[in-house]
């Protein structure tokens, strides 16, 4: 189908989505989960084609692994959808209500965003995941997945659409853009007349391209150049495990730490211990001059290192004279994602919490907790690094807007 028709269908499906009750949505999600299990054979067959193409095209092992589906992964997809069906429905919730002196009664009600476009890269489970979250929040979704996973995505989308159709629900609640040329992605970003919000999920390059080219409002997700600042008043017994966790528990994720900032007063005591821990976890250390003096294996950091989201077994080290310098460094090089301070000094912690400009600011905890599930949202569509609309982990509530419903009795403005 051509892009324009996909967009028109999506817009036309909005009223039907608003009319669905919570019970209907939850029932549909459970049926979609069952449908995926039932269609598992077809999905795995499609996925095998993508995988073989990936191998032929020299895709690296990490990406091949993210692309690959098996029975267990399809079951996990289905289970994820079931979990979303059990979450609270945000739609129709009254956010507030008030009455004006002229008698107007004003209600602020949570409503779907409308048509949510999602542009993502090669993980096919995002297809099922994004559907569950947008559907539960009453939205219509148009998905543009990576061309590497196109056959898998078509199979998953078809399974979902068939289930919806069998329940008498508009299948256009989810549509996949099947064209794989780059032009269609660029054209998609210009469909402001039909698409209410665009959410890119993937590499920093993908997100930048969307921000640069879209005329649809975008929610930026995911780039994380996260810092851990070890203050002079830090409890080093907390610092070391937190740094190991934030740096090495999963290196390829946006809430992983990329840089250590250290107060110069504790460098002598702390850095050798830090370097030992990094060595044990095969992490390369790139340090500025003052900090490097206290380490044996660290190499020189360049200015460029401080602006880098490595997503690798590398950490940069920057020494500072005070917490203010640490805050300035973070506000200069950070991406507004997650930042942590290790300190037992409440005053220093409060300053850091107040002045670091990021979605999530931690005292004595790992940055790895920036996550919808860890926050207890029960789901996550991404982590916003912008300040408009939503900041940090985005669950169902963040996929909604609101409207004012105003009840009058003939009022006119004076």
Site residues, its own copies (CB under 8 A): 14-15, 18-19, 98, 100, 104, 106, 113-114, 192, 196-197, 211-212, 215, 217-219, 235, 237-238, 241-242, 244-246, 249, 327, 331, 353-355, 357-366, 368-369, 374-376, 386-389, 391-392, 401-413
Compute the radius of gyration of the chain from its Cα atoms: 24
Min dist. Cβ of residue 241 to its own copies (A): 5
Smallest distance, its own copies to C-beta of residue 278, A = 16
* Nearest-approach distance from CB 124 to its own copies, in angstroms: 25
d(CA 366, CA 291): 22
Distance (Å, rounded) from C-alpha 367 to C-alpha 259?
A: 12
CB of 270 to its own copies, least distance (A): 15
Question: To the nearest whole angstrom, how small is the minimum distance from the Cβ of residue 215 to its own copies?
Answer: 5
Return the exposure string of 290-304: e unless at least 16 CB atoms fall within 10 Å of the residue's CB, then b. Answer: bbbebbeebeebeee
**164 vs 359, which CB is nearer to its own copies?**
359
Q: Could you tell me whether strands 140-144 and 115-120 are parallel, antiparallel, or unpaired per DSSP bridges?
A: parallel
Rounded to whole angstroms, the Cα distance separating 44 from 52 reads 12
Residues 380 and 395: beta-carbon distance below 8 Å:
yes
Between 65 and 344, whose beta carbon lies closer to its own copies? Answer: 344
Q: Find out whether 227 and 261 touch, Cβ atoms under 8 Å.
A: yes
How are beta strands 314-320 and 257-263 bridged, if at all? Answer: parallel
Q: How far is the CB of 131 from its own copies (least distance, A)?
A: 20
Smallest separation (angstroms) from its own copies to the CB of 165: 22
Distance CA 279, CA 20 (A): 55
121 close to 67: Cβ distance less than 8 angstroms: no
**Distance (Å, whole) CA 411 – CA 414:** 9
DSSP 3-state of 189: coil
Give the residue with the Cβ less far from its own copies, 44 or 115: 115
**Extended strands (E) in 103-230:** 105-112, 115-120, 140-144, 174-176, 197-201, 226-230
Tell me how far, at minimum, the Cβ of 78 lies from its own copies, in Å: 24
Question: Residue 180 or residue 215: which is nearer to its own copies going by CB?
Answer: 215
Q: Which is nearer to its own copies, 132 or 207 (CB)?
A: 207
Nearer to its own copies, 55 or 324 (CB): 324
């Amino acid at each position: 189908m051509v892009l324009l028709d996909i967009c028109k269908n999506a817009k036309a499906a909005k009223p039907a989505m608003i009319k669905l009750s919570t019970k209907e949505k939850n029932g549909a999600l459970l049926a979609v989960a069952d449908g995926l299990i039932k269609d598992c054979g077809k999905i795995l067959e499609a996925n095998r084609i993508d995988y073989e193409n990936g191998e032929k095209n020299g895709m690296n092992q990490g990406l091949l692994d993210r692309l690959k589906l098996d029975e267990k992964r399809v079951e996990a997809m289905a289970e994820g959808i079931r979990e979303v069906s059990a979450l609270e429905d945000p739609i129709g919730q009254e956010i507030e209500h008030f009455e004006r002196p002229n008698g107007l009664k004003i209600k602020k009600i949570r409503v779907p965003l409308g048509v949510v476009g999602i542009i993502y890269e090669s993980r096919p489970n995002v297809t099922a995941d994004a559907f569950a979250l947008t559907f539960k929040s009453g939205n219509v979704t148009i998905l543009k997945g990576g061309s590497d996973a196109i056959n898998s995505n078509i199979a998953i989308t078809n399974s979902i659409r068939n289930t919806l159709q069998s329940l008498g629900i508009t299948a256009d609640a989810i549509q996949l853009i099947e064209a794989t040329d780059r032009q269609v992605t660029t054209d998609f970003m210009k469909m402001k007349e039909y698409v209410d919000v665009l959410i890119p999920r993937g590499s920093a390059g993908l997100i930048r391209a969307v921000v640069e080219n879209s005329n649809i409002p975008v929610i930026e997700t995911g780039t994380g150049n996260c810092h851990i600042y070890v203050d002079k008043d830090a409890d080093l017994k907390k610092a070391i495990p937190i740094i190991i966790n934030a740096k090495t528990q999963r290196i390829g994720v946006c809430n992983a730490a990329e840089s250590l900032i250290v107060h110069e007063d504790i460098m002598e005591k702390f850095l050798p211990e830090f370097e030992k821990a990094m060595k044990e976890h095969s992490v390369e250390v790139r340090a500025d001059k003052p900090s490097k003096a206290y380490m044996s294996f660290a190499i020189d950091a360049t200015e460029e290192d401080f602006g880098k989201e490595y997503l690798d077994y590398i950490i940069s080290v920057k020494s500072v004279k005070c917490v203010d310098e640490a805050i300035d460094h973070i506000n200069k090089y950070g991406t507004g994602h997650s930042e942590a301070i290790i300190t037992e000094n409440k005053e220093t912690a409060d300053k850091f919490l107040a002045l670091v400009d990021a979605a999530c600011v931690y005292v004595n905890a790992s940055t790895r907790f920036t996550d919808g599930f860890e926050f207890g949202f029960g789901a996550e569509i991404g982590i916003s690094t912008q300040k408009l609309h939503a900041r940090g982990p985005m669950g169902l509530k963040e996929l909604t807007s609101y409207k004012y419903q105003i009840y009058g009795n003939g009022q006119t403005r004076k």
